[in-house]
Chains A and B, each alone.
Chain A
Amino acid sequence: MNWQKRSLARRSTLSFPAIEELISQHEVVLLPIVDGLLCWRLRDEAGLFDWLERQHQADGFAQARIKAEWLARRRSGTGGDAHVSLPQIHEVLSELMPEGKITVEIEQEAAGRFLLPDPAMRTLLETARTAGRRVVGLNVHPLPLAYLDDLLKQGGLELDGLHEPQASSDRASFLASIAPMEQVEPVAMLHVGSSETTETEAAISAGMTALSMRSRSEDLQDHPPSFAVPVEGPAAAFIAGKLALNTPLSEAEETPIYQLGYLLGGPILLGFCLDLMQRLGNGGDGSVAVSAQAARLVKQGLEIMGAKQATLSRLVIADGIGGGHSGDGPAGFLIDWSEMDDTSAILLQGSEILDFLFSVTPQMAGIASARRAAGKLDAQGGTLDFLRHASADLAELDADAFRTTNRAALMRLLMAPSEAERSALATVPTSQTGTLADCVEPRQVAANTALPPDTELLRLNQTLRDLLPRDLVRLAESGALAGLDWRQELRKNPFKIGRWATLRRYQRRLEDRLRNRLNGGA
C-alpha cells in the first residue's frame, strides 16, 4: 500500500479498503476543495496571513484577518456557521484596520501560490473515478469558486461538479441543497468532510454518509515526523509546507537520516545560500569565503537555487577555522562564533551534526566508514531535495528568518530529542564508540535505574578515553581536568572550539551523572 493510502487511512481512522468499500456503496462522492483536494503548502492557512503580514510589512494583519473572518461569519446571526466571501471578510477587516494595505486581490493571489493538490486526496479522487463514481467538489472557503476551479485544473484535478453555499447561508442548508442539484437521493452521497463535529452532524442530518477526514495540516501537526520544525514564524511555516507536499517524510519511506537532511540540513543550507546570494548578488565585487569542507554542498545548493555563474565564481574556498569545523559554511552562518552567548554555546554541541550534514565524507576505516558514508549520502540527499523543492519560491524567503528558525530547530533537537530522533542519530558513528546521539542531551534516567558507583566510574573512564581529545585525556589522567572550566577555556582560546566544546560536553555529562546518582539515592 502506498503512502497516500496510508495517509488517508490515518486521517480518517478507517482502513483504505474500508474507504474503498464506502465509495463503492455510493453514487456521488463529495470532496472538500480547500484543506481537502488542495492543501496549504504552509503550516496552515494562518501561515498565509503571517506571510502576507511580513511581505507587505502590515503589522497586525494576521491577527486582525483571523478576527475579521470570525466576525464576518457571525454577522448574519448564524452563530459562526455562515458562508462568507473574501470581500465580506475584508469589509470587516477595514473596520478593524482602516489603514490596511492588503486587499482582496492580494490575498487571493497569495492563496493561489500556496494552495497545491494534496497527493492523498488525489488518490481518493482517482479511487472514486476508477469505481465509476461521480466526484463533486464542495467549497465552504471564502475564496471564489471560479478561482478554485482554475487552481484545481492547474493541479490536474478534474471534477464532475462544483458547489458552494449561497452567501450567508449555513452549512446544514447548503448540504441539504446538494441532493436536488445532483439529482440523487442524499443517501447515495458520501460526504468527505473535515474533523469538525458540526460538519459531520450536518452531513448526517442531510441524509448523507459522513466520512470525517483530517486535513494535511492537522495530520502533520498531530504526527510530526522526526526533525520537524517546532517553532512558529514564516520560515517554520514554509518548512512545514514543504513537508506537507512531501508526505513520504512522515511515512517512514525515507530513512530517518534523510529526514534529518531534509528538515534540518535543507533549511540551514537554504538560509545560508539565501544569505550568500544576497551578499554576492548586489553588484559588489567582493567575495565570500566558504570552508573547503562545505564548499561542494554549498555550490550544489547555489546551483539548485539558480545562482548565476558570476555569483558562483565569487565564492572562495578557504580552510575552515576552529579545528576543522565549518566556520565559514552553513554551520558558521547558523552559529555565529563571535556571539558566544549561552544559546550559541548550546548550539555548538550540535557542531558534529552540522559537520556530518555539510562537510565532505571523512576518511574512516572499516564498516563504520561505510555506514557513515551511506548515512551522509541520505542526509545530503535530503538536504539538496529540500532545496530543489524550495527553489521555486525563493523570492519570498528571508535568510534571517531561516537563521532564527534553524537555530531554534537545532536547539530543540539538542535539548529535547525524541526517542526516534535519538535512535536515528545513534546510527551515525563519530568515533569507535561514539555516535551523533552523543551530541544531544542525555536520556532522562529514572531514579531507580542509577548505575552503581563502580560501574559508573568505569563507564566514565571509558567515556573520557573515547570522547576527549588526547590533550584532555592527559589532563584527566594528571588530575588537572577537574580544575578546568569550559567558559575560562573559551575566553582563553576562543578559536580552539573543539577543545572547549568537548570540555563543556564532558562537564555537562559529569553534572548529569551526578544528578542521576543523587536522584537514585533519594
Chain B
Amino acid sequence: MSEGTPVRLAVPFINEEMLERFFIGNPHLQGVDITPLDNRERGAGLPVLYNEFIAANLERDAWLFFLHEDFEFLGPLAELSALRTEAVYGTFGARLEGRKPRMYGRHTCSNKDGSNARKTGIEIAGPTWVDTLDCQSILLHTAMLRARPTLRFDEGLSFDLYAEEFCLNAQENHGLPVMVLPARFQHYSYGRITERYREGLAHLAERYPDSAMPGTCTFLGGRAAELEAGFTYDNKALQAEAAGR
C-alpha cells in the first residue's frame, strides 16, 4: 500500500500545444506534479527518457506515471492509495481469453484532431489484470523499481512496444502482475503499424523466444505465430498498414 505517496506525471512531448491543452491546462490535473520531457530537439527514444526519469526519482517513494502527450484525462486521477506497489499499472491493456485478445480500459480513441472519435475497450469497475499494456500510459512505483534493478524500459526500442516489453519483463522475469486501472480519458491516436513497429516485434520475439502474449495491436513474443493461427487482429492500425502497402 502507498498512502500519501506522491504521484509524478512524466510527459515526453514534441507538440507543445498538446502538452499545454491536455496536461498543464487540464482542470482535472490542477495541483498534480507534472514533468514535461522536451524531446523536440533531442529526439530520444521514449525508453531512454523514461529510464532517466526513473533514475532521477528512484531514491524516494513515488508513483511515476508515464503518459503520451496525446493522452487527455477527462476525469480526476484514479485513487492510488490502496494499490499494491508490486505491480505494473496502466489504463488500457490486452488479455487473452481463449484464443481471442480482449481489450480492457474503456476510453475514447480519435484522430489527433479529435475527429473520428469512438469508444473502445471493456469498461472496468476496479483494477483488472491483463497480459500487456498499451504504451499510452504506464504507472510504476519506485519501491518496485528500486528492488528490481533489471526492471527498466528497454532502450533497444524507441517509440513502440516499450510498454509491452516492460510488461513481458515484469511477468516473465519477476512474476509481477499487470493491471489496468479505471480512468476517464481520450487518446488522440489510433496508432500506426510502421517498419519500426515490425522491427520492435522482431526485437521482442528475440528477447522472449518462449512467450506468446496479446498486445493491443498484435500478438507479441517468439511464439506469437501460435496465437496468430487462432485469431487475426482487426484494427485501424493494421487496416492503415494494409492500405499503405
Contacts and interface: CB of A to CB of B under 8 A. Distances in A.
Interface of A: 63-64, 67, 70-77, 79-80, 92, 95-98
Contacts of B173: 74, 77, 79
B145 interface: no
A67 B129 contact: yes
7 contacts: A63-B97, A71-B176, A77-B174, A79-B172, A92-B175, A95-B87, A98-B127
B129 A64 contact: yes
Nearest to A72: B175
B177 A92 contact: yes
A95 B129 CA distance: 9
A70 B212 CA distance: 13
Contacts of B174: 74-75, 77
A67 B174 CA distance: 14
Nearest to B172: A74
Contacts of B84: 95
Given A95-B84, A96-B129, A74 B177 contact: no
Interface of B: 84, 86-87, 97, 126-127, 129, 171-177
A515 to B, nearest CB: 29
Contacts of A72: 175
A71 B97 contact: no
A218 to B, nearest CB: 17
**A70, A95, A98: residue with the most chain B Cβ atoms closer than 10 Å:** A95
A76 B175 contact: yes
- Interface-central residue, B84, B87, B129, B173, by most chain A CB under 10 Å: B129
Contact of A74 (B86, B97, B126, B171): B171
A14 to B, nearest CB: 28
Contacts of B97: 63
A72 B129 CA distance: 15
B104 to A, nearest CB: 12
Contacts of A92: 175, 177
A71 B175 contact: yes
B175 A74 contact: yes
A378 B129 CA distance: 50
With most chain B CB atoms within 10 A of its CB, the pick from A70, A74, A97 is A74
Contacts of A80: 172
Given A95-B177, A96-B129, A71 B87 contact: no
Contacts of B171: 70-71, 74
A76 B175 CA distance: 7
B126 to A, nearest CB: 8
A67 B177 CA distance: 9
A79 B174 CA distance: 8
A473 B98 CA distance: 49
Contacts of B172: 74, 79-80
Contacts of A95: 84, 86-87, 129, 177
A75 B174 CA distance: 5
Contacts of B86: 95
Contacts of B176: 71, 75
Q: Chain A CB within 10 Å — which of B86, B126, B175 has the most?
A: B175
Contacts of A75: 174-176
B230 to A, nearest CB: 14
Nearest to A95: B177
A95 B127 CA distance: 10
A96 B126 CA distance: 11
A71 B87 CA distance: 12
Contacts of A63: 97
A270 to B, nearest CB: 26
A98 B172 CA distance: 22
A73 B175 contact: yes
B20 to A, nearest CB: 38
Contacts of A76: 175
A457 to B, nearest CB: 44
A520 B15 CA distance: 65
Nearest to A67: B129
Contacts of B126: 98
Nearest to B129: A96
A72 B126 CA distance: 22
Most chain B beta carbons < 10 A, residue from A71, A72, A73:
A71
For the complex of A and B, the 4 pairs showing the least CB-CB separation, nearest first, are A75-B175, A74-B175, A96-B129, A71-B175
A70 B126 CA distance: 22
Nearest to B84: A95
A221 B171 CA distance: 29
B174 to A, nearest CB: 7
A95 B87 CA distance: 9
Nearest to A88: B175
Nearest to B82: A98
Nearest to A80: B172
A102 to B, nearest CB: 16
Nearest to B176: A71
Nearest to B97: A63
A414 to B, nearest CB: 25
A70 B173 CA distance: 11
Nearest to A94: B84
A172 B144 CA distance: 29
Contacts of A73: 175
A75 B144 CA distance: 13
A67 B132 CA distance: 13
Nearest to B148: A77
A362 to B, nearest CB: 44
A97 B172 CA distance: 20
B43 to A, nearest CB: 35
B177 A96 contact: yes
A77 B175 CA distance: 8
A71 B126 CA distance: 21
Contacts of B177: 71, 92, 95-96
Contacts of A70: 171
A70 B97 CA distance: 15
A338 to B, nearest CB: 31
Nearest to B127: A98
A75 B86 CA distance: 11
B93 to A, nearest CB: 13
Contacts of A64: 129
A405 to B, nearest CB: 17
Contacts of B87: 95
A408 to B, nearest CB: 16
